[in-house]
Amino acid sequence: MSQQTPEHAPDANYDFIVVANRLPVDRITDPDGRPGWRRSPGGLVTALEPIMAASTGAWVGWHGATDEELEDFDKDEIHMVPVSLSEEDLELYYEGFSNSTLWPLYHDVIVPPEYHRTWWDNYKKVNRRFAEAVLKVAAQDATVWVHDYQLQLVPKMLREVRPDLRIGFFNHIPFPAPGLFAQLPWRRQILEGLAGADLVGFQREADSANFIRSLRRYTEYSVKGHEATPDASYPLRNVCRAAAHPISINTAQVAELSKDPEIQERARQIREGLGNPKTVMLGVDRLDYTKGIRHRLKAYEEILSDKSLQAGDVCLIQVASPSRENVDRYIQLRNQVELMVGQITGQHDTLSHTTLRYLHHSYPMREMIAMYLAADVLLVTSLRDGMNLVAKEYVAAHENERGVLVLSEFTGAADQLTQAVLVNPHDIDGMKKKIVQAVNMSETEQARRMRRMYRHLQDNDVVGWSQKFLLELASINVHATT
C-alpha cells in the first residue's frame, strides 16, 4: 500500500471516518423513477450521526451491489465512500472467511469453522481495499473508527502508512477464549491487525480479556493490564488498549414509538389475530444457529405437551428474519426450524387457537414495536451473542412496566439487564421452569424488574456508548511510542 497523505490525496480532508462493511444507506427508486439513497435503520448510524454532523465526517463501506464502481457521494451530512465488492469477494471474503470461518469460531464453535486459504487471501485483499479507501479521505491526525469482524486487518494497514491517525476498532460480536482462537491458522495476523488500533472495544469484559490473553500467548506483544506493547523489533510502536464498551439502543426513540396510538392499536390487532390468548410470547431473531431458536422451540413444545401451560391460553410468535441464505449451515437450520414449527402447530393448534405463529420475514421498526407491545414475554435464548439489542428494545418499549424478559446468560445484555429472568438455553428443563415462571409472574414483580432495567437503558443509550468510546480513544496518547 503506497504512502498517501493529505498532500498527495485531494480528497483527504475528513477528520472523522467510520469504516464498516456496509454504508448506512439503501438504494431506492423515488416516485419519479429516479435512483436515490435512503438512510438505513440501525443503531450505529443513529449513534454516530451527531458526531458526523459536528465534524467533517466520512463513512467508508460497501454499498450493497456487486461488480459496480461508484463515485463518492453525500447523504444526510455524511460523505459516503463506496468500496466495491465483486461476486467472488462476496463469496470468499463475506460468505466465506467472515461468516463461515470467523463467525462460528467467535461464537464458541457452535458449528465447526472452515479454514480455506483462498478465503483468507481474499479477506486480506478486501481489507486492504477498505484501508486504501480510508487513506484517500483521511485528513492529518484524523480519527478513524473501524467496525466489526469483517475488517480486523484494517487498523494495522492504516497504522503502517499513517502513524498520525488515531484509530479505534469495535468488535460487535464475541471474542473467543485463547484455546478456541488457537484453531485459526492466521491467528497472529488477525491479532496484529487489531493491535494496530489505539483502542479495541468489546461488548463484554470477558471478550476484552480474551483478546489480551490471546495477544500475550500468540504474538510478541508485552501485556500489562489492559494494554499491549509490541516487541522492540516490531515495526509498529503504538500501545493498544482493550476495553469493554457495551453497545446500546436509542432508548428515547423506542419509548416514544411505544406511545404512538397507531402502534398501540396495531399491537391490539396482533393479539386479536392470534385469538386473544391469555399470554403472548415473542422471539425475534435472525435465523442463525447462534440464537438458540431450536432450543426455544423444543422447550416450548415440551411445555405444551406436559401441560405446564395450556395450548389455548398461550401463543408464541417467532420472527426469524432471513440470514445468509446461500450458506449451507443456514439452509440446514431453516429446514430444521420449519420442521419443528410444523410439528408443534400440527400437534397443538386448534381451529380456534394458534399456538405458534412463525414469520420468516424482516419487519420495519414500527411493526416490531407493535409486536413488543403485544408480547407479555420476550424469549431471548441465544447460545452466544455479543449483545442482543432486541432484549433492550423490548424493555425500552415497555415504559409502562409490564412484560417479562427471559434472557440467555450467554448474551452481552445479561451483564446489564440483570433483572431479566436469566436462563441457560442448554438446560431445557431449567429453561421450561423459567418460562413458566415468567408467564405467571405478578404485575408487581414485573414492574419492579422492568423499572430497573428501563432506568439502566435511559442512563446508557447508544449515543452515550459512542461518546464514551470516542472520549477514551481521544484520551490515549497515540504518539507515546512512535
The answer regarding whether domain 14-247+464-475 maps to CATH 3.40.50.300 reads no
Q: What are phi and psi of 44, to 5 degrees?
A: -65, -45
Of 32-46, 161-175, 231-245, 461-475, the poorest mean pLDDT is in 32-46
Return the pLDDT at 10: 61
Q: DSSP string covering 407-445, please? A: EETTBGGGGT-TTSEEE-TT-HHHHHHHHHHHHT--HHH
- Beta-strand (E) ranges in 262-395? 279-286, 314-321, 356-359, 377-380
**Could you tell me the three cell numbers for 146?**
473501524
Q: Would you place residue 250 in the very low, low, confident or very high pLDDT band (cuts 50, 70, 90)? A: very high
Q: Would you place residue 237 in the very low, low, confident or very high pLDDT band (cuts 50, 70, 90)? A: confident
Work out the average pLDDT over 352-373.
95
Q: Which fold has domain 251-459?
A: Rossmann fold (3.40.50)
Residue 73: pLDDT over 60? yes
Whether 251-459 and 14-247+464-475 are alike in CATH topology: the answer is yes
**Where do the structural domains in the chain lie, given as residue ranges?**
14-247+464-475, 251-459
Residue 113: pLDDT over 60? yes
Return the pLDDT at 4: 42
Residue 334: pLDDT over 60? yes
pTM above 0.85, yes or no: yes
Return the pLDDT at 478: 63
Report percent pLDDT > 70 for the chain.
96
Return the pLDDT at 9: 58
207 vs 81: CA distance, rounded Å:
30
Residue 64: pLDDT over 80? yes
Work out the average pLDDT over 110-125.
97
Work out the average pLDDT over 416-434.
98
Of the residues 15, 116, 172, 415, only one is catalytic, namely 172
Of the residues 385, 398, 456, 461, only one is catalytic, namely 385
SS3 per-residue string spanning 188-205: HHHHHHHHCCCEEEECCH
Q: Which long-range contacts (CB under 8 A, 24 or more apart) does 211-220 make?
A: 211/171, 211/175, 211/242, 212/242, 213/177, 213/178, 214/175, 214/178, 214/181, 214/187, 215/191, 215/240, 217/178, 217/182, 218/178, 218/181, 218/182, 218/187, 218/188, 218/191, 219/188, 219/191, 219/192, 219/195
Q: Is 385 a catalytic residue?
A: yes
Contact 122, 128 (CB under 8 A): no
At 235, the amino acid letter reads P
Looking at the chain, how many residues does it have? 482
What are the start-end ranges of the H helices in 55-102? 87-89
Q: Is 63 a catalytic residue?
A: no
Decide: residue 68, CB within 10 A, 0-12 exposed, 13-18 middle, 19+ buried. exposed
Contact 425, 411 (CB under 8 A): no
* DSSP-based three-state secondary structure for 214: helix
Q: DSSP string covering 21-46, please? A: EE-SEEEEE-TTS-EEEEEPP-HHHH
Residue with the three cell numbers 431473531? 285
